[in-house]
Copies of this chain bind each other. A is one copy, B any other.
Amino acid sequence: MRVAVYRKEHFNAAHRLHNPNWTDDKNSEIFGKCNNPSFHGHNYELIVKVTGERDPETGYVCDMKIIKDIVREHVVDKFDHKNLNLDVEEFKNLNPTAENIAVVIYDLLRPEIDAKLDLKITLYETERNFVEYPA
């Protein structure tokens, strides 16, 4: 039977929710205070789950130090202390909702992790609002 291993990291970022195809009134109605044009921000907590067989020589599913380095290089260095809307290429044309951020993180990490291993992302925007992908 397979084992899942989890690694928790964090990054702090600014963002706003906005659909450029909508009027300001509709953006304000749908996204409320999350639409504030001068941005707000969060301490995002990110949990990366990797599932697979244990290697009989190490007793590891995978070396979590390597997973930690991959997450820092491909996600944390890119998102931490940034404005997601202005500074991060992936959100130039994509609304940075928690759902979309989780999918972007999955797409950034998937090519970096052995295809035999399953990958799942949990992202906490606050301790009361969080998302998981794939569900």
Contacts and interface: CB of A to CB of B under 8 A. Distances in A.
Contact of A82 (B22, B31, B32, B40): B40
- What band does the interface of chain A fall in when counting residues whose beta carbon is under 8 Å from B? 35 or more
A9 to B, nearest CB: 8
Given A135-B2, A135-B51, A97 B58 contact: yes
A108 interface: no
Contacts of A10: 126
Contacts of A19: 57-58
Nearest to A32: B65
Given A87-B38, A135-B1, A54 B100 contact: yes
Contacts of A30: 58, 63
B98 A42 contact: no
A81 B4 contact: no
Contacts of A61: 99, 131
Nearest to A130: B6
Given A6-B131, A21-B57, 14 more contacts: A3-B135, A4-B135, A8-B128, A9-B128, A19-B57, A22-B57, A30-B58, A33-B81, A36-B81, A36-B83, A40-B83, A41-B41, A59-B96, A60-B99
